[in-house]
Amino acid sequence: MSRPAFAHIDLDALRHNYRVARSRHGGKALAVVKANGYGHGAIRCAHALAPVADGFAVAITEEAVALREAGIEQPILVLEGAFGADDVTLADQHRLWLVVHQDEQIDMLRAHTPRHPIPVWLKMDSGMHRAGFFPHAYADAFARLQTLPSAGPVTLMTHFARADEPDADTTRVQLASFEAATAALPGERSLCNSGAILGWPAAHRQWCRPGIMMYGADPMPTPDADLKAVMTLGSAIIGVRELGVGEPVGYGGRFITGRPTRVGLVAMGYADGYPRTVPDGTPIIVGGQRTRVIGRVSMDMMTVDLTDLPEAGLGTPVECWGPHLNVNVVAQAAGTIAYELLCNVKRVAFSDTASR
Ligand SMILES: *Cc1c(COP(=O)(O)O)cnc(C)c1O
């Protein structure tokens, strides 16, 4: 028998969540599969979504080329755009769409002799101040693109800093600033990530860009979308010991038993992507029952409280997150977000299921 740590990917749930995103927003949706599909496997996710998705988005051209080589034929948008001339050549060869967020990327397109014009998503910095053209410089960038044989149709885009906050005034300000600076420009628009799809209907346009919600983690503080867990990160109990009162468990002796305690050892650690930062008491599912993490998570193993689960023993299945324990709960306990936990999953045995 091999180590029981696994990540199982429910591709039906992924498709379900994509459809939820698309119908909550209206119009078309680019399924965001950057960073290896938020840790789920970009190629398996793209294949599962190919029959239903309008297109895909990744961060970098290498990720896009990998999808093309795996047979994905839909549009693929590269969200960081070109880093250099070679990226523009790849985009042309592989029929990719490029985000353009700064002058240097317009110069790269100008220097390129196209086989096919490259569709461009022109990014505005409407207030996040991470990337994009300032509103006052946007129309000029648009006009320069229009003169280039290498640039195809231009889609107008921006990105929100606080879309997952239902009442952030900055989102209203970003939206107003985008509207004002694009009022005279033709072309389709795209503003929404998951948070804006769910929380900001005023920002819905022709295209949305769902990421995290597709993977079953609702980014809003009060989740209301009908999303299904896509990844189950799980393992099994591989050891059991009985301790008396006052005994330390694990590195640093952080947890001290307050009662006679049955400790379960789980084959899962931070090298698999389970966060080391979770405190004692973090929920975990053992044999279908909710119990708690006790002691520090180590690289390859962690310890859980089996005292109230007499049926649990060697081989009992463990769910770290999944359909019975939302990844957001673990992320919050760890002081981070579901995005980071999902992206970090590695080393475990990956598998997937789909009904077709
Ligand atoms: C990653 C990303 C998205 C997806 O965001 P989620 O919050 O995961 O839905 C959308 N747009 C851009 C520009 C991104 O970088």
Q: Which residue of the set 123, 138, 251, 274 is catalytic?
A: 251
Interatomic CA distance for residues 108 and 98, integer angstroms: 11
159 CA: nearest ligand 1 atom: 13
pLDDT tens track of the chain, all 356 residues?
799 999 999 999 999 999 999 999 999 999 999 999 999 999 999 999 999 999 999 999 999 999 999 999 999 999 999 999 999 999 999 999 999 999 999 999 999 999 999 999 999 999 999 999 999 999 999 999 999 999 999 999 999 999 999 988 999 999 999 999 999 999 999 999 999 999 999 999 999 999 999 999 999 999 999 999 999 999 999 999 999 999 999 999 999 999 999 999 999 999 999 999 999 999 999 999 999 999 999 999 999 999 999 999 999 999 999 999 999 999 999 999 999 999 999 999 999 999 86
Q: Residue 356: its pLDDT value, please?
A: 61
Burial of 226 (0-12, 13-18, 19+ CB in 10 A): exposed
**Which residue has the least CA distance to atom 3 on ligand 1?**
193
Is the pTM for the entire model greater than 0.85? yes
Long-range contacts of 86-95 (CB under 8 A, 24+ apart): 87/61, 88/112, 88/118, 88/150, 90/61, 90/64, 90/65, 91/61, 91/64, 91/118, 92/116, 92/118, 92/150, 94/61, 94/64, 94/65, 94/68, 95/68
Residue in 209, 214, 220, 340 to alter for ligand 1 test, most ligand atoms within 8 A of Cβ: 209
| CB contact at 8 A, 281 and 292 | yes
Burial of 132 (0-12, 13-18, 19+ CB in 10 A): buried
Q: Which residue of the set 18, 34, 38, 274 is catalytic?
A: 34
Q: Residue 338: its pLDDT value, please?
A: 98
Q: Residue 1: its pLDDT value, please?
A: 78
Two structure tokens written together for 50: 């190919």
Location of each CATH 2.40.37.10 domain in the chain: 231-353
Ligand 1 contact via 212 beta carbon (within 6 Å): yes
What DSSP string describes 112-179? ---SSPEEEEEEE-SS--SSSB-HHHHHHHHHHHHT-TTEEEEEEEE--SSTTSTT-HHHHHHHHHHH
Location of each CATH 3.20.20.10 domain in the chain: 11-215
**Which residue has the least CA distance to atom 8 on ligand 1?**
211
Q: What is the CATH number of domain 11-215?
A: 3.20.20.10
Q: Which of 158, 124, 155 is nearest to 138 (CA)?
A: 124
Secondary structure of residue 286 in the 3-state scheme = strand
Spell out the residues 6+ positions from residue 72 whose beta carbon is closer than 8 angstroms to its own. Answer: 43, 46, 47, 50, 56
Q: Which of 223, 222, 264 is nearest to 243 (CA)?
A: 264
**What homologous superfamily is domain 231-353 in, according to CATH?**
Lyase, Ornithine Decarboxylase; Chain A, domain 1 (2.40.37.10)
